[in-house]
Amino acid sequence: MTTPMSTMKWLIRRELWEHKGAFFWAPLAVAAVLVLLFGGGFLYAIIANPSFHVQVSGEQVMTVNGLPPAMLAKLAAAAASSYLVITAPLFFVLPVVVFFYCMAALYDDRRDRSILFWKSLPMSDAQTVLSKAVTALLVAPLATIAIGIAASLILLVIGLLGGAIKGINLIAPVLANIDFYLAPVYLISFLPLYILWSLPTVGWLLLVSSWAKSRVFLWAVGAPLVALAILAWFDFLAGRFAGVSMNVKWFGEEIVARVLLGVFPGIWFGEVNGAALAQQQQAGLDGPLLLGTSYSTLLTPGVWIAAAAGCAMIYGAIRLRRWRDEG
Protein backbone atom coordinates (compact mmCIF):
# COMPACT_ATOMS: atom_id res chain seq x y z
CA MET A 1 0.00 0.00 0.00
CA THR A 2 1.44 3.34 -1.04
CA THR A 3 1.30 6.35 1.23
CA PRO A 4 0.91 9.97 0.05
CA MET A 5 4.54 10.62 0.98
CA SER A 6 5.86 7.68 -1.04
CA THR A 7 3.68 8.74 -3.97
CA MET A 8 5.11 12.25 -3.78
CA LYS A 9 8.66 10.88 -3.74
CA TRP A 10 7.91 8.75 -6.76
CA LEU A 11 6.40 11.69 -8.62
CA ILE A 12 9.43 13.88 -7.88
CA ARG A 13 11.72 11.11 -9.12
CA ARG A 14 9.65 10.96 -12.27
CA GLU A 15 10.20 14.70 -12.80
CA LEU A 16 13.93 14.26 -12.30
CA TRP A 17 14.07 11.34 -14.73
CA GLU A 18 12.18 13.23 -17.40
CA HIS A 19 14.06 16.53 -16.95
CA LYS A 20 17.52 15.48 -15.78
CA GLY A 21 19.00 17.29 -18.76
CA ALA A 22 17.66 20.61 -17.47
CA PHE A 23 18.13 20.02 -13.75
CA PHE A 24 21.52 18.28 -13.80
CA TRP A 25 23.29 18.27 -17.14
CA ALA A 26 22.75 21.96 -17.90
CA PRO A 27 24.26 23.24 -14.62
CA LEU A 28 26.95 20.55 -14.80
CA ALA A 29 27.92 21.74 -18.27
CA VAL A 30 28.09 25.36 -17.09
CA ALA A 31 30.11 24.30 -14.03
CA ALA A 32 32.54 22.36 -16.24
CA VAL A 33 32.99 25.41 -18.48
CA LEU A 34 33.67 27.58 -15.43
CA VAL A 35 36.26 25.15 -14.09
CA LEU A 36 37.97 24.94 -17.49
CA LEU A 37 37.92 28.70 -18.10
CA PHE A 38 38.81 30.00 -14.65
CA GLY A 39 40.88 27.07 -13.43
CA GLY A 40 42.66 26.57 -16.73
CA GLY A 41 43.18 30.30 -17.17
CA PHE A 42 44.64 30.62 -13.68
CA LEU A 43 47.03 27.72 -14.21
CA TYR A 44 48.09 29.11 -17.58
CA ALA A 45 48.74 32.53 -16.00
CA ILE A 46 50.91 30.91 -13.34
CA ILE A 47 52.91 28.89 -15.86
CA ALA A 48 53.25 31.65 -18.45
CA ASN A 49 54.14 34.47 -16.04
CA PRO A 50 57.16 33.87 -13.82
CA SER A 51 56.62 37.20 -12.03
CA PHE A 52 53.20 36.67 -10.55
CA HIS A 53 51.52 39.74 -9.01
CA VAL A 54 48.46 40.26 -6.87
CA GLN A 55 46.22 43.15 -5.83
CA VAL A 56 43.69 43.21 -3.01
CA SER A 57 40.92 45.77 -2.43
CA GLY A 58 42.55 48.29 -4.74
CA GLU A 59 45.74 48.40 -2.70
CA GLN A 60 49.17 48.65 -4.25
CA VAL A 61 50.18 45.71 -6.44
CA MET A 62 53.02 43.76 -4.84
CA THR A 63 55.09 40.81 -5.91
CA VAL A 64 54.40 37.53 -4.16
CA ASN A 65 57.70 37.56 -2.35
CA GLY A 66 56.85 40.93 -0.85
CA LEU A 67 53.43 40.16 0.60
CA PRO A 68 53.30 41.13 4.27
CA PRO A 69 51.47 38.91 6.78
CA ALA A 70 48.56 41.36 7.01
CA MET A 71 48.02 41.20 3.25
CA LEU A 72 48.29 37.40 3.36
CA ALA A 73 45.61 37.24 6.06
CA LYS A 74 43.39 39.57 4.04
CA LEU A 75 43.75 37.36 0.98
CA ALA A 76 42.92 34.25 3.00
CA ALA A 77 39.81 35.90 4.49
CA ALA A 78 38.60 37.01 1.06
CA ALA A 79 39.16 33.55 -0.43
CA ALA A 80 37.47 31.76 2.48
CA SER A 81 34.34 33.92 2.40
CA SER A 82 33.97 34.55 -1.33
CA TYR A 83 35.00 31.36 -3.13
CA LEU A 84 31.37 30.51 -3.95
CA VAL A 85 30.92 33.74 -5.91
CA ILE A 86 32.88 32.41 -8.87
CA THR A 87 30.05 30.01 -9.74
CA ALA A 88 27.46 32.81 -9.87
CA PRO A 89 26.74 32.07 -13.58
CA LEU A 90 25.13 28.81 -12.44
CA PHE A 91 22.43 30.84 -10.75
CA PHE A 92 21.61 32.53 -14.02
CA VAL A 93 20.91 29.11 -15.50
CA LEU A 94 18.56 28.17 -12.63
CA PRO A 95 15.78 30.71 -13.37
CA VAL A 96 15.79 29.80 -17.07
CA VAL A 97 15.44 26.10 -16.25
CA VAL A 98 12.72 26.65 -13.63
CA PHE A 99 10.80 29.12 -15.81
CA PHE A 100 10.53 26.89 -18.87
CA TYR A 101 10.02 23.74 -16.80
CA CYS A 102 6.99 25.24 -15.02
CA MET A 103 5.64 26.68 -18.24
CA ALA A 104 5.57 23.23 -19.88
CA ALA A 105 4.96 21.09 -16.77
CA LEU A 106 1.20 20.60 -17.16
CA TYR A 107 0.77 21.63 -20.78
CA ASP A 108 3.00 18.86 -22.17
CA ASP A 109 0.94 16.17 -20.44
CA ARG A 110 -2.15 17.42 -22.26
CA ARG A 111 -0.40 18.02 -25.57
CA ASP A 112 0.88 14.45 -25.92
CA ARG A 113 -2.21 13.07 -24.08
CA SER A 114 -0.08 11.29 -21.52
CA ILE A 115 -2.41 12.91 -19.00
CA LEU A 116 -4.82 10.03 -19.70
CA PHE A 117 -2.21 7.56 -18.51
CA TRP A 118 -1.29 9.56 -15.40
CA LYS A 119 -4.95 10.06 -14.47
CA SER A 120 -5.45 6.30 -14.61
CA LEU A 121 -2.88 5.81 -11.84
CA PRO A 122 -3.75 5.99 -8.12
CA MET A 123 -2.56 9.56 -7.63
CA SER A 124 -4.46 12.77 -7.24
CA ASP A 125 -4.21 15.93 -9.29
CA ALA A 126 -3.01 17.73 -6.17
CA GLN A 127 -0.10 15.32 -5.78
CA THR A 128 0.85 15.68 -9.44
CA VAL A 129 0.81 19.48 -9.45
CA LEU A 130 2.47 19.78 -6.05
CA SER A 131 5.27 17.43 -7.13
CA LYS A 132 6.02 19.79 -10.02
CA ALA A 133 5.93 22.81 -7.72
CA VAL A 134 8.26 21.13 -5.20
CA THR A 135 10.63 20.15 -8.01
CA ALA A 136 10.78 23.74 -9.24
CA LEU A 137 10.96 25.42 -5.84
CA LEU A 138 13.17 23.00 -3.92
CA VAL A 139 14.81 20.25 -5.96
CA ALA A 140 16.11 22.39 -8.82
CA PRO A 141 17.72 25.02 -6.52
CA LEU A 142 19.24 22.32 -4.31
CA ALA A 143 20.78 20.60 -7.34
CA THR A 144 22.22 23.90 -8.55
CA ILE A 145 23.57 24.73 -5.09
CA ALA A 146 25.24 21.31 -4.79
CA ILE A 147 26.86 21.59 -8.21
CA GLY A 148 27.91 25.18 -7.47
CA ILE A 149 29.56 24.23 -4.17
CA ALA A 150 31.43 21.34 -5.80
CA ALA A 151 32.67 23.52 -8.68
CA SER A 152 33.69 26.29 -6.27
CA LEU A 153 35.71 23.87 -4.16
CA ILE A 154 37.50 22.56 -7.24
CA LEU A 155 38.38 26.10 -8.33
CA LEU A 156 39.45 27.01 -4.81
CA VAL A 157 41.78 23.99 -4.64
CA ILE A 158 43.28 24.95 -8.00
CA GLY A 159 43.76 28.52 -6.80
CA LEU A 160 45.30 27.51 -3.47
CA LEU A 161 47.70 25.02 -5.04
CA GLY A 162 48.65 27.48 -7.78
CA GLY A 163 49.25 30.20 -5.20
CA ALA A 164 51.35 27.86 -3.07
CA ILE A 165 53.53 27.08 -6.09
CA LYS A 166 54.16 30.80 -6.52
CA GLY A 167 54.91 31.41 -2.88
CA ILE A 168 51.48 32.47 -1.60
CA ASN A 169 50.56 29.61 0.70
CA LEU A 170 46.98 30.29 1.76
CA ILE A 171 46.01 26.67 2.34
CA ALA A 172 46.34 26.68 6.13
CA PRO A 173 44.84 30.18 6.68
CA VAL A 174 41.85 29.39 4.47
CA LEU A 175 41.19 26.04 6.15
CA ALA A 176 41.48 27.71 9.56
CA ASN A 177 38.94 30.40 8.62
CA ILE A 178 35.43 29.63 9.86
CA ASP A 179 33.90 31.35 6.83
CA PHE A 180 35.27 28.59 4.60
CA TYR A 181 32.92 26.11 6.27
CA LEU A 182 30.02 28.50 6.80
CA ALA A 183 29.87 29.81 3.21
CA PRO A 184 27.87 26.77 1.94
CA VAL A 185 25.58 27.06 4.98
CA TYR A 186 24.95 30.72 4.19
CA LEU A 187 24.17 29.83 0.59
CA ILE A 188 21.67 27.12 1.58
CA SER A 189 20.12 29.54 4.08
CA PHE A 190 18.91 31.67 1.16
CA LEU A 191 16.72 28.77 -0.04
CA PRO A 192 13.59 29.56 2.05
CA LEU A 193 13.79 33.15 0.85
CA TYR A 194 14.12 31.98 -2.75
CA ILE A 195 11.07 29.74 -2.35
CA LEU A 196 8.92 32.58 -1.03
CA TRP A 197 9.97 34.97 -3.78
CA SER A 198 9.55 32.29 -6.47
CA LEU A 199 6.04 31.23 -5.47
CA PRO A 200 4.22 33.90 -7.55
CA THR A 201 6.13 33.01 -10.71
CA VAL A 202 5.87 29.25 -10.23
CA GLY A 203 2.17 29.53 -9.40
CA TRP A 204 1.45 31.73 -12.42
CA LEU A 205 3.35 29.49 -14.84
CA LEU A 206 1.70 26.32 -13.54
CA LEU A 207 -1.71 27.98 -13.78
CA VAL A 208 -1.11 29.02 -17.39
CA SER A 209 0.40 25.62 -18.18
CA SER A 210 -2.75 23.90 -16.90
CA TRP A 211 -5.08 26.22 -18.81
CA ALA A 212 -3.55 27.21 -22.16
CA LYS A 213 -4.38 25.04 -25.16
CA SER A 214 -1.44 26.38 -27.18
CA ARG A 215 1.21 29.11 -27.23
CA VAL A 216 1.90 28.85 -23.52
CA PHE A 217 4.83 31.27 -23.67
CA LEU A 218 2.70 33.99 -25.25
CA TRP A 219 0.05 33.60 -22.57
CA ALA A 220 2.52 33.35 -19.69
CA VAL A 221 4.76 36.25 -20.70
CA GLY A 222 2.65 38.20 -23.15
CA ALA A 223 -0.47 38.57 -21.01
CA PRO A 224 1.24 40.43 -18.11
CA LEU A 225 3.30 42.57 -20.49
CA VAL A 226 0.30 43.46 -22.64
CA ALA A 227 -1.68 44.34 -19.50
CA LEU A 228 1.20 46.56 -18.41
CA ALA A 229 1.36 48.23 -21.83
CA ILE A 230 -2.41 48.86 -21.85
CA LEU A 231 -2.30 50.36 -18.36
CA ALA A 232 0.66 52.52 -19.35
CA TRP A 233 -1.29 53.80 -22.38
CA PHE A 234 -4.39 54.59 -20.30
CA ASP A 235 -2.14 56.21 -17.70
CA PHE A 236 -0.65 58.39 -20.40
CA LEU A 237 -4.09 59.39 -21.68
CA ALA A 238 -5.42 60.00 -18.16
CA GLY A 239 -2.42 62.13 -17.30
CA ARG A 240 -2.61 63.99 -20.58
CA PHE A 241 -6.29 64.88 -20.53
CA ALA A 242 -7.46 64.43 -16.94
CA GLY A 243 -4.31 65.08 -14.93
CA VAL A 244 -4.56 61.84 -12.93
CA SER A 245 -2.14 58.90 -12.59
CA MET A 246 -2.92 55.20 -12.36
CA ASN A 247 0.40 54.31 -10.68
CA VAL A 248 1.55 52.00 -13.46
CA LYS A 249 4.98 51.74 -11.86
CA TRP A 250 3.45 49.93 -8.87
CA PHE A 251 1.67 47.48 -11.18
CA GLY A 252 4.90 46.81 -13.05
CA GLU A 253 7.00 46.27 -9.93
CA GLU A 254 4.51 44.52 -7.66
CA ILE A 255 2.56 42.44 -10.18
CA VAL A 256 4.41 41.95 -13.46
CA ALA A 257 7.91 41.75 -11.98
CA ARG A 258 6.86 39.34 -9.22
CA VAL A 259 4.95 37.16 -11.68
CA LEU A 260 7.71 36.95 -14.30
CA LEU A 261 10.99 37.48 -12.43
CA GLY A 262 10.43 35.83 -9.06
CA VAL A 263 12.58 32.78 -9.91
CA PHE A 264 15.71 34.91 -10.34
CA PRO A 265 17.95 34.40 -7.27
CA GLY A 266 18.71 37.65 -5.49
CA ILE A 267 15.72 39.54 -6.89
CA TRP A 268 14.96 40.57 -3.30
CA PHE A 269 18.06 42.81 -3.29
CA GLY A 270 15.98 45.22 -5.33
CA GLU A 271 14.09 45.91 -2.09
CA VAL A 272 17.21 46.98 -0.15
CA ASN A 273 19.74 49.79 -0.40
CA GLY A 274 22.40 48.14 -2.54
CA ALA A 275 24.90 50.98 -2.25
CA ALA A 276 24.75 50.98 1.56
CA LEU A 277 25.04 47.19 1.61
CA ALA A 278 28.15 47.28 -0.61
CA GLN A 279 29.80 49.82 1.68
CA GLN A 280 29.31 47.56 4.69
CA GLN A 281 31.12 44.65 3.07
CA GLN A 282 34.68 44.16 4.26
CA ALA A 283 37.26 41.86 2.65
CA GLY A 284 35.22 39.17 0.96
CA LEU A 285 31.50 38.68 1.49
CA ASP A 286 29.83 39.13 4.84
CA GLY A 287 27.43 36.17 4.91
CA PRO A 288 25.49 37.12 8.07
CA LEU A 289 25.06 40.69 6.81
CA LEU A 290 23.75 39.49 3.43
CA LEU A 291 21.39 37.03 5.12
CA GLY A 292 20.11 39.61 7.59
CA THR A 293 19.56 42.19 4.87
CA SER A 294 17.84 39.63 2.62
CA TYR A 295 15.49 38.32 5.29
CA SER A 296 14.61 41.86 6.29
CA THR A 297 12.60 42.03 3.04
CA LEU A 298 10.13 39.62 4.65
CA LEU A 299 9.00 42.49 6.85
CA THR A 300 7.22 43.99 3.84
CA PRO A 301 3.67 42.69 3.35
CA GLY A 302 4.08 42.54 -0.44
CA VAL A 303 6.27 39.44 -0.19
CA TRP A 304 3.67 37.51 1.80
CA ILE A 305 0.77 38.70 -0.33
CA ALA A 306 2.61 37.61 -3.47
CA ALA A 307 3.48 34.24 -1.91
CA ALA A 308 -0.16 33.72 -0.92
CA ALA A 309 -1.20 34.60 -4.46
CA GLY A 310 1.31 32.04 -5.75
CA CYS A 311 -0.19 29.36 -3.53
CA ALA A 312 -3.67 30.33 -4.73
CA MET A 313 -2.55 29.99 -8.35
CA ILE A 314 -1.06 26.56 -7.64
CA TYR A 315 -4.43 25.57 -6.18
CA GLY A 316 -6.05 26.94 -9.32
CA ALA A 317 -3.73 24.79 -11.43
CA ILE A 318 -4.84 21.73 -9.43
CA ARG A 319 -8.50 22.54 -10.01
CA LEU A 320 -7.97 23.17 -13.70
CA ARG A 321 -6.13 19.89 -14.18
CA ARG A 322 -9.19 18.01 -12.95
CA TRP A 323 -11.17 18.93 -16.05
CA ARG A 324 -8.81 20.59 -18.56
CA ASP A 325 -8.31 17.35 -20.45
CA GLU A 326 -7.52 17.29 -24.15
CA GLY A 327 -8.46 13.61 -24.34
The per-residue pLDDT for 119 is 59
Mean per-residue pLDDT over the chain, rounded: 83
pLDDT at residue 318 above 70?
Answer: yes
pLDDT of residue 61: 44
Tell me which of 98 and 44 has the higher pLDDT. Answer: 98
Residue 294: enclosing H or E segment and its boundaries? helix 287-295
Long-range interactions of 146-150: CB distance < 8 A, separation 24+: 147/24, 147/27, 147/28, 147/31, 147/90, 148/27, 148/31, 148/84, 148/87, 148/90, 148/91, 148/187, 149/84, 149/87, 149/184, 149/187, 150/31
* pTM listed for this prediction: 0.85
pLDDT tens string 265-276: 989 988 776 555
What would the 3-class secondary structure string for 219-268 be? HHHHHHHHHHHHHHHHHHHHHHHCCCCCCHHHHHHHHHHHHHHCCCCCHH
Average of per-residue pLDDT across 61-88: 75
pLDDT at position 186 is 93
pLDDT above 50: residue 158: yes
Confidence band for 317, pLDDT divided at 50, 70 and 90? very high
Question: What interhelical angle do 40-48 and 140-165 show, nearest 10?
Answer: 10
Q: For residue 27, is pLDDT > 90?
A: yes
Tens of pLDDT, residue by residue over 97-107, are 999 999 998 88
pLDDT at 202: 97
Higher local confidence (pLDDT), 248 or 114: 248
